[in-house]
């Protein structure tokens, strides 16, 4: 459950009441959160309905969580001013944000939600959420490549963190990262003398792509 702020903050900064007015309303029990009168300056959920003197001043917000298989050729944005954006896939939803972007040439799992705190929890590097990829390279993978990739590669003057890199077959590897620098896998491979032919993300944290088809989304629970 994510939280907005304390109810008094909402009354003062959103409804533009004075501190004194806000406190009086709380003391009198004139504020209801999700149908329950409150008498103290408590926290409220981002989704909570708020009533003032029995009138709704903020309706309850229904959060939605989507798994989406981004096709190759699309930008990881909902901005309609950007060519090949993803907005046409989500016309039935409002207020979505994307957790876990992919470059235009890559495909695979994206997570979207109108729950900003949840998206932030997945995107913020400090939480170190795992992201798993299947990568096809332009030539045979060597043990030397695997060892260098796993221990860290210098890109953009920064050494990447240790990660998982396993050989699947002659030209394919599985990579698991806990960081997400821009085009990181492609840049790491380039430094090591390889070119990425295809890159597909199959997992973010505990969320799996499974058999979701490109361009399709699935409403999920958290």
CB environment 147-173: b (16+ within 10 A), e (fewer): ebbeeebebeeeebeebebeeeeebeb
Q: In the predicted model, what is the mean pLDDT of residues 145-162?
A: 95
* Claim to verify: residue 167 and residue 185 sit in the same structural domain: yes
Based on the residue annotation, tell me whether 92 is a catalytic residue of this protein.
no
Could you give the CA distance from residue 208 to residue 190 in angstroms, rounded to a whole number? Answer: 27
pLDDT score recorded for residue 188: 97
Domain count, the chain: 3
Residue pLDDT, tens place only, 61-104: 889 999 999 999 999 999 999 999 999 999 999 899 999 899 99
Q: What is the CATH number of the domain that holds 97?
A: 3.30.70.580
Residue pLDDT, tens place only, 129-146: 999 999 999 999 999 999
Q: Which of 92, 103, 206, 211 is catalytic?
A: 103
Domain that holds residue 71: 62-129+208-222
pLDDT score recorded for residue 1: 39
* Claim to verify: residue 136 and residue 200 sit in the same structural domain: yes
3 state DSSP class of 13: helix
* Claim to verify: residue 214 and residue 170 sit in the same structural domain: no
* Claim to verify: residue 10 and residue 43 sit in the same structural domain: yes
pLDDT score recorded for residue 219: 94
pLDDT band at 4 (very low <50, low <70, confident <90, very high): low
């Amino acid at each position: 459950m994510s939280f907005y702020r304390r109810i008094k903050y909402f009354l003062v900064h959103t409804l533009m009441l004075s501190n004194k007015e806000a406190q009086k309303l709380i003391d009198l029990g004139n504020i209801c959160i999700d149908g329950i009168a409150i008498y103290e300056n408590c926290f409220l959920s981002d989704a909570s309905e708020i009533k003032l003197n029995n009138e709704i001043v903020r309706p309850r917000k229904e959060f939605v969580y989507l798994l989406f298989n981004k096709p190759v050729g699309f930008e990881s944005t909902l901005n309609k001013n950007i060519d090949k954006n993803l907005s046409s896939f989500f016309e039935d939803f409002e207020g979505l944000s994307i957790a876990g972007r992919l470059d235009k040439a890559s495909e695979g799992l994206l997570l979207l939600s109108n729950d900003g705190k949840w998206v932030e929890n997945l995107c913020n590097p400090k939480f170190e959420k795992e992201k798993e990829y299947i990568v096809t390279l332009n030539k045979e993978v060597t043990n030397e490549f695997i060892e260098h990739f796993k221990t860290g590669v210098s890109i953009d003057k920064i050494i990447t963190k240790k990660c998982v890199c396993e050989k699947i077959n002659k030209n394919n590897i599985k990579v698991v990262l806990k960081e997400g620098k821009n085009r990181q896998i492609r840049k790491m491979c380039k430094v090591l003398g390889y070119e990425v032919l295809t890159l597909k993300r199959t997992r973010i944290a505990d969320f799996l792509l499974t058999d979701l088809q490109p361009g399709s989304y699935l409403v999920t629970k958290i």
